[in-house]
Amino acid sequence: MGNRGVIVLVMPRIPLKPRAILIDVVPPNIDKRTQERRILELESLAGTYGGVNIVSIIQKRALPDYKTYIGSGKLEEIIALGREKKADVLIINNQLRPGQMYNIEEAIRKAKLPMQAWDRIDLILKIFSKHAKTAEAKLQIKLAAIRHMGPRIYGIGMEMMQQAGGTGTRGGQGETNTELMKRHLFEQEKRIKRDLEKQATSRAGHRARRERLGLKTVSIVGYTNAGKSSLLNALTKKGAYVADALFATLDTRVGKLWMDGREVLLSDTIGFIQDLPPELIDAFRSTLDETVDADLLIHAIDVNDAFIHEKIAEVEKILREIGAHRIPKLYVFTKIDLADRIPMKTLLRRYEDFTPYFVSSHSGSGLEALKQAIADRIANQGKS
């Protein structure tokens, strides 16, 4: 069907390194630390996408504006700013309703500004689709994108209907277009789901085989950029992709670890993030299956992170949401080679339930002790 071109038609092209205006709409009573953390994270998300951040705006609002979320005055301001600074994209760090996105895009279009508007989910989806490598990850992203973008595309269909009506072409044509588009997206969604089911079946087969062989699995989880892939590589000599970026890893990588003469499978996972939109967790639930089924979790934490406790809490929250909170867990503080001073005592005390380890994947320090701890944990599980 030829209507796939519609999206391209209405969206200005986005350069490889788009100049971005960032805006975070927060409640007026927000504390300074959270406010700072949110905008920093938005900036690094945009940076991961490849964006050049030209302005970051924090807007305090008790309630989002019904029509445009950010409010019409702010939108006008941003349009003027976008023109002045030659911005390619406006990124809003919140989750907007399709109608709100549509109204913002309309205002930009009417101002004849070649600027796109993305909400937080758009941005995360764009990062995901830039980085996806396996067929499964690509399908997952496509599915999430259809679900997220779909309603906005219907909106564009409505717009076409009005235009078609206005120029005196066949009446009702636009409505048919909208219906066609809806059906097209629905069919596409069905096809993707079918393909994904096939992949899930083959993964379930692998899992069943591992169980038959009595293989134990350990899954590395943690906030994005915590050093999970580096830890997998350092422990297993496997070449997982490492980058100083958010969401460098989207696909589960599995490496083998030999301990006490037995083989243990270690898997890497997608990084967690605050306010990870629920539909994205849903989309990636299958890649997190390994985590949900693991015999042991390693929660990797960057010891140098200024927001260390918040991020630990965020990861724990997501583990609960995916049903992985009852799995035994070790806390592994990473990147100790970068630390001037490690608050070892505080961390040991605060997280004593999770027997903290301190390692550097770069220098190798602490890795042997961690391997031993993993081996001990797994051996003990076998006995119970």
Ligand X SMILES: Nc1nc2c(ncn2[C@@H]2O[C@H](COP(=O)(O)OP(=O)(O)OP(=O)(O)O)[C@@H](O)[C@H]2O)c(=O)[nH]1
Binding site for Mg ion (CB under 5 A): 228-229, 248-249
To ligand X, the closest distance from the beta carbon of 97 in angstroms equals 29
- Of all residues in this chain, which one has the CB nearest to Mg ion in the complex? 249
107 versus 301: smaller Cβ distance to ligand X: 301
226: contact with ligand X by CB under 6 A? yes
To ligand X, the closest distance from the beta carbon of 333 in angstroms equals 10
- Which of the stretches 111-119, 191-199, 208-216, 228-236 binds ligand X when contact is defined by CB under 6 A? 228-236
To Mg ion, the closest distance from the beta carbon of 266 in angstroms equals 13
The CA angle 239-240-244, to the nearest 5 degrees, is 120
To ligand X, the closest distance from the beta carbon of 155 in angstroms equals 33
338: contact with ligand X by CB under 6 A? yes
374: contact with ligand X by CB under 6 A? no
Q: Which does 348 bind (CB under 5 to 8 A by kind): ligand X, Mg ion, none?
A: none
The two tokens of residue 189 are 């969604």
Contact between residue 219 and residue 330 where contact means Cβ atoms under 8 Å apart: no
Annotate each residue in 270-309 with x if it binds ligand X (CB under 6 A) or - if it does not, as one string.
-x--------------------------------------
25 versus 248: smaller Cβ distance to Mg ion: 248
Q: How far apart are CA 53 and CA 19, in angstroms?
A: 6
Contacts of 228 (CB under 8 A, 6+ apart): 220, 221, 222, 249, 268, 269, 271, 300
Site for ligand X (CB under 6 A): how many residues? 24
- Which of the stretches 4-12, 90-98, 241-249, 346-354 binds ligand X when contact is defined by CB under 6 A? 241-249
The two tokens of residue 282 are 């849903």
246: contact with ligand X by CB under 6 A? yes
Contact between residue 289 and residue 216 where contact means Cβ atoms under 8 Å apart: no
Closest by alpha carbon to 14, among 46, 59, 56, 42?
Answer: 46
SS3 for 334?
Answer: strand
Q: Which of residues 345-364 bind ligand X (CB under 6 A)?
A: 360-362
To ligand X, the closest distance from the beta carbon of 262 in angstroms equals 26
Give kind and range of the element (H or E) at residue 5. Answer: helix 5-10
267: contact with ligand X by CB under 6 A? no
SS3 for 212?
Answer: helix
335 versus 377: smaller Cβ distance to ligand X: 335
What is the layout of strands, in order, in the sheet containing 89-92? 52-60, 19-26, 89-92, 116-119
Q: How far apart are CA 356 and CA 209, in angstroms?
A: 32
What DSSP string runs through 306-317?
TTHHHHHHHHHH
- Residue 182 burial (C-beta neighbours within 10 Å; 0-12, 13-18, 19+): middle
Q: Which of residues 98-137 bind ligand X (CB under 6 A)?
A: none
Q: How far apart are CA 52 and CA 88, in angstroms?
A: 10
87 versus 332: smaller Cβ distance to ligand X: 332
369: contact with ligand X by CB under 6 A? no
- Which of the stretches 3-11, 24-32, 72-80, 219-227 binds ligand X when contact is defined by CB under 6 A? 219-227
147 versus 238: smaller Cβ distance to ligand X: 238
| Interface with ligand X (CB under 6 A) | 222, 224-230, 242-249, 271, 334-335, 337-338, 360-362
